[in-house]
Amino acid sequence: MTAIIPNVIAMKGEFIQATWETIYMTLMSAIVSAVLGLLVGVLLVVTQPGGILEDKLTYSVVDKLVNLLRSIPFIILLAVISPLTKFLIGTTVGTTASLVPLIFGIFPFYARQIQNALLDVDHGVIEAAESMGSSPLEIIFRIYLREGLADILRVSIVTVISLIGLTTMAGAIGSGGLGDVAINIGYARFENDITFTAMIIILVLVFAVQLFGDWVVRRVEHQ
């Protein structure tokens, strides 16, 4: 073992620590982004032309904002958002500070995915619910979020996997986690076994998310 991955063995503790940091960053930013993304995604669907709470102004403002945020490359966002991060967290380095750019990097993406998932909910069913006297709030919770649940879970998996990717980019500029280890130690010191091992751990995390997600989707689907 020491012959193949000498540097990894020497840094076992750091690897375990970095893995937990990656999981922490992913989980925390996923939770906040889920709330924001769901809110914005639902808002887009209900206010769009022909939606149950049609509102042209709200729709076009939110729609453009989401597009704008999605257009900023993450690596630039990391730098641009640092004043806000400093204001909110008090510092711009470390895992907790990285949550701010991670959330802003992922929630507009997630909102768009949620919007698309909810648009797939059969319009006829929405109309049936309206004809049965359901209120807009009832339609959101009893129809949109429920009928669209399998698709919502599907896009959530995709989002979490993208998020794991973003944490490594945040890592490159010093937020900690496996990206940090891979770039700032493995790559910088030409210790290829470290970079490689970090990659393997990330792949394992991605597969775990995918498998778990697929299992959950299968359980809720009745088509």
Partner 1 sequence: MSETVTNAIELNNISVNFQNHDQEIDAVKNVDLQIKRGDIYGIIGYSGAGKSTLVRVINLLQQPTQGSVIVNNQEILKLKPVELRQARKKVSMIFQHFNLMKSRTVQGNVEYPLLGTKISKADRQAKAEKLLRLVGLSEYAGTYPSQLSGGQKQRVAIARALASDPEILISDEATSALDPKTTKSILELLKQLNRDLDLTIVLITHEMQVIKSICHNVAVMDAGEIIERGPVAKVFTEPQQKLTTDFVETSTNVKEAIERITSTIKISEFKDNQELMYFNFIGNSTKQGVVSEFSQKYGIDVNILFANIDQIDGENVGYMIAVITGDLAVFNAAIQRLSSEGVKTRILTNDVLEGGAA
The three-point CA angle 187-182-180 to 5° equals 115
Interacting residue with partner 1 among 1, 3, 4, 132 (CB under 8 A): 132
String marking each residue 148-187 x if it binds partner 1 according to CB under 8 A? -xx-------------------------------------
Contact 183, 172 (CB under 8 A): yes
- Based on the shown chain and the rule CB under 8 A, indicate whether residue 134 belongs to the binding site for partner 1: yes
Q: Which residues contact 133 (CB under 8 A, 6 or more apart)?
A: none
Interacting residue with partner 1 among 138, 196, 212, 218 (CB under 8 A): 138
Task: Find the part of the chain contacting partner 1 (CB under 8 A) among 26-34, 44-52, 143-151, 169-177.
Answer: 143-151
Contact 112, 176 (CB under 8 A): no
Q: Which is nearer to partner 1, 2 or 223 (CB)?
A: 223
Distance separating alpha carbons of residues 159 and 149, to the nearest angstrom:
15
Q: Where are the alpha helices (DSSP H) in 48-191?
A: 56-71, 74-80, 82-89, 95-119, 123-131, 136-138, 145-147, 149-172, 178-180
**Closest separation in Å from C-beta 158 to partner 1:** 21
Task: Find the part of the chain contacting partner 1 (CB under 8 A) among 49-57, 59-67, 91-99, 138-146.
Answer: 138-146
**Closest separation in Å from C-beta 139 to partner 1:** 11
Cα-Cα-Cα-Cα dihedral sign, residues 91, 93, 96, 98: positive
Distance separating alpha carbons of residues 133 and 135, to the nearest angstrom:
6
Q: Which is nearer to partner 1, 59 or 109 (CB)?
A: 59
- Based on the shown chain and the rule CB under 8 A, indicate whether residue 125 belongs to the binding site for partner 1: yes
Residues in contact with partner 1 by CB under 8 A are: 122, 124-125, 127-135, 138, 142-143, 146-147, 149-150, 220, 222-223
